[in-house]
Amino acid sequence: MKFWREIILGFLLGAVAILGYREYSRCHFEENQTADTGTVQSAADYTTADDTALSNVFTDEIMQSRQNAITTAIEKVSPAIVGINVTQVREYRTRNPLWDDPFFRELFPSRIYRKNVENLGSGFIISPDGLIITNEHVVHNATEIVVTMTDGKQYEAQIIGADYYSDIALLQIAGDNLPYAPMGDSETVITGEWAIALGNPFGLFSNNDQPTATVGVVSATNRDFNRTGEGRIYTNMIQTDASINRGNSGGALVNSLGEVIGMATIIFTEGGGSLGIGFAIPVDRIKEIVEELQTTGSVNRNYWTGLSIQNLDRLIALSMKLESTEGVIVTDIERNSPGEKAGFQVADVVTAINNQPVNNYNAVRTFLENEDLRVSDVLTFTVYRDGKSLELELRLEEMPR
């Protein structure tokens, strides 16, 4: 019995010793923490703080990994993109299908009537004082133009100048320190590089004052098209597969540096939808036209050469000892004309213009129709004279009145 009593007493003394040591250790740990930091935190508190800090680190890393050149470019240019709502006057022609005959058309001519219609498009600000670029067809015959910014503000815009043939228009809104898009260099555009189209497709801009961004690549450069049925001329166009839809006209095509390289203008479509083949007017062409629009409000295409030409026939070719009848012959040169200043002579045979072969008079006419030529442009003529090939530079001048 005494033996068991001693065992129990020893066990109790050992338990008291262990509990005392644990209490001493806890108090000593809290004193050290108070001396170091002035605060006392439990082990649970330390775990929560560490988890929060670790979570913030992971969140920052994830956000950084999502940021790239495209998102940066969109963030940079988006404030300069605007939605454009236009009231236009359009002409409609009516005719009676029962009188579709030349005789009856003379007796009962078609009737033309005008109607106000709503149109929409896109644009981008190019200066802090509110100069905006868009397509001419967006604001053609406009009676009212309302520009919506990304901050929701709306401005009434005025047309500073517009050029129907190049399809470029310059607008002005009243504002100061407005966000604007930096202009790039279309000569440095690389086929295959990123292309970002920013605009107002289907009027979605008006829903939340935010441009739509679509991303693709530059599919090709220097795409030329013959004069359209409406008379517009599109040359050196940038092709892209970034989706362009109705309402994107006039919007910016941007590279991954956030620079405007073109203006979305036309698409190939079936049934009104995008097929991934769109075209933008190159920014270098835009800058040339805009400079002239700012100065005069229009583009001067009333040029002349002072040259009279005709086709070569076999008799003329034989008399001049020419091997073929390809080319056109100069038959007259007006005094003090651009042609005379360029050094042309009667009987010169023109075989090429700007390195494009000239086979006959129709080739010359086609060239002039499909080139966006303006006063002060320089043309290089390849001329055959006295058995030698010469190159003459002719600067176009305004036609005398």
Among the listed residues 122, 186, 249, 337, the single catalytic one is 249
Question: Going by DSSP bridges, is the β-strand pair 307-311/328-333 parallel, antiparallel, or unpaired?
Answer: antiparallel
User: Is 137 in the active site?
Assistant: yes
Structure-token pair, residue 111: 């009737």
Give the number of other CB atoms < 10 A from CB of residue 43.
6
Residue type, 332: D
User: Is residue 119 within 8 Å of 86, Cβ to Cβ?
Assistant: yes
Q: Which residues pair with 163 in a beta bridge?
A: 168
Distance separating alpha carbons of residues 235 and 222, to the nearest angstrom: 7
**3-class SS of residue 67:** coil
Catalytic option among 167, 241, 348, 372: 167
Q: For residues 112 and 79, what is the distance between their CA atoms, to the nearest angstrom? A: 42
- CA distances from residue 243 to 2, 91, 145, 264, 282 in whole angstroms, order as listed: 98, 31, 25, 10, 17
> Would you state the structure tokens that stand for residue 244, as one six-digit string?
């362009």
Residue 298 known to be catalytic: no
Structure tokens at 308: 């009279």
Given 122, 137, 186, 243, the catalytic residue: 137
In the residue annotation, 206 being an active-site residue is answered as no
Could you tell me the two tokens for 123? Answer: 């644009």
What phi and psi values does residue 59 have, to the nearest 5 degrees?
Answer: -60, -45
What is the distance between the alpha carbons of residues 83 and 335, in angstroms, rounded to a whole number? 51
Six token digits for residue 13: 């003394």
Give catalytic residue positions: 137, 167, 249
